[in-house]
Amino acid sequence: MNIKNIFIFILMLAAIVIFPLFVPNKYYISVMVVVGFNVLICIGLCMLMGYAGQISLGHAAFYGLGAYTSGVLCTKYLFNPWLAMLCGIIITGGVAYLIGVPSLKLKGHYLAMATLGFGEIVFIAFNELSFLTGGPSGMTSIPRLSLFGLALNTDLRFYCFTWVVVLVTVILSINIVNSRVGRALLAIHGSERAALAAGVNVPAHKIQIFVLSAIYASIAGSMYAHFVTFISPSSFGFMKSITLVTMVVIGGMSDIWGACIGALILTVLPEYLHVFHDYEILIFGVTLMIIMILMPKGLFVGAMDGIEWIKSKIFRKTNEKDTVGI
């Protein structure tokens, strides 16, 4: 990790620790738990989109696969939740591999459609396999998680658990993107042919990162299932996939921190837009468009550029003073 990352990481850690102490009421803790799920998925999606340059409009399917594997195994076959979560990771990873191998050969909009189509197929399967999933009415009474004999049955406990998972994921992901693999991914993003010519195993790297991002989503899904204790297909449809991609892009997909910020803002923003009632949708859409038009690279990059700009101003001013002094 470089200085910038360590600095932001400490800032984030501090925010996570301080937040519950000063929060006006418990409700915001549960909001932050949901933010945590989204951050988790967005980190994976950011590595896929921002670093490897591959789009996915079907990530809600992986999120759902994790949630449903946990839900089905825990309620129908009475698995231990942690074991179920592990099964979720294996199943989702396997599915991601199978769909990734042929799909990632596609480019641009074709890849977008293939992932979108895959997401829809999984969504339909959740609806139709009612003997397993409970169909469109969903499945109830998914057990809660417990850790070392401590039941994660309050929002605060789940909050701690979620954000520990997120922090670990962040460290892991930053290390990946700053490693050989990360540089290979950036090379693929730049030009696949050039990367190939330079000896990068392009297909293998693309698959690896696709599977990894699916696993992140699966973990988030399992956690979601145990947090809400109810799941139904409508949480894992096309709109969820779109929302996830939007979070990553709005935050800024060239940096993992961007994805985190995007997930935070787009999860919390609707809370504040509630006061506008029927105008909420409209204002939300306009906000999205304005951010994208003004900061096409996302909020994080926009903010960083802003800081750079201010720095340069100050810097230049001191410089000028110096010259004047001389």
> Least separation, in Å, of the C-beta of 71 and another protein?
13
- In sequence order, what are the residues at sequence separation of 6 or more whose Cβ sits closer than 8 angstroms to the Cβ of residue 18? none
> Least separation, in Å, of the C-beta of 170 and another protein?
22
Q: Which of residues 99-138 bind another protein (CB under 8 A)?
A: 102-103, 105-110, 112-114, 116-118, 120-121, 124-125, 127-128, 130, 135-138
**Cα gap 32→311, rounded to integer Å:** 32
Q: Is residue 25 near another protein by the rule CB under 8 A? A: yes
Query: Which of 9, 12, 20, 30 is the binder for another protein (CB under 8 A)?
Result: 30
Question: x/- contact string, 227-266, with another protein (CB under 8 A)?
Answer: -xxxxx-xx--xx--x--xx--xx--x-------------
| Residue 147 DSSP label | E
Q: Which of residues 203-222 bind another protein (CB under 8 A)?
A: none
> Least separation, in Å, of the C-beta of 109 and another protein?
6
Indicate left, alpha or beta for 95 from its phi (over 0: left) and psi (-120 to 50: alpha): alpha
**Cα gap 59→96, rounded to integer Å:** 10
CA-based angle 316:319:323, to the nearest 5? Answer: 140
What is the DSSP annotation of 102-124?
HHTTS-HHHHHHHHHHHHHHHHH
**Cα gap 107→80, rounded to integer Å:** 40
Answer for the pair 125, 72: CB distance below 8 angstroms, yes or no: no
> Least separation, in Å, of the C-beta of 232 and another protein?
5
Coil, strand or helix at 150 = strand
Q: Is residue 96 near another protein by the rule CB under 8 A? A: no
Q: Residue 314 class from Cβ within 10 Å (0-12 exposed, 13-18 middle, 19+ buried)?
A: exposed
> Least separation, in Å, of the C-beta of 167 and another protein?
23
> Least separation, in Å, of the C-beta of 112 and another protein?
8
**Cα gap 43→266, rounded to integer Å:** 14
C-alpha pair distances (Å), 166 with each of 16, 30, 261: 11, 15, 13
Question: x/- contact string, 158-197, with another protein (CB under 8 A)?
Answer: ----------------------------------------
Q: How many residues bind another protein (CB under 8 A)?
A: 68
Q: Which of residues 283-322 bind another protein (CB under 8 A)?
A: 283-286, 288-289, 292-293, 296
> Least separation, in Å, of the C-beta of 10 and another protein?
29
Q: For binding to another protein (CB under 8 A), which residues are involved? A: 25-27, 30-31, 34, 49, 55, 102-103, 105-110, 112-114, 116-118, 120-121, 124-125, 127-128, 130, 135-138, 140-141, 155, 224, 228-232, 234-235, 238-239, 242, 245-246, 249-250, 253, 274, 277-286, 288-289, 292-293, 296
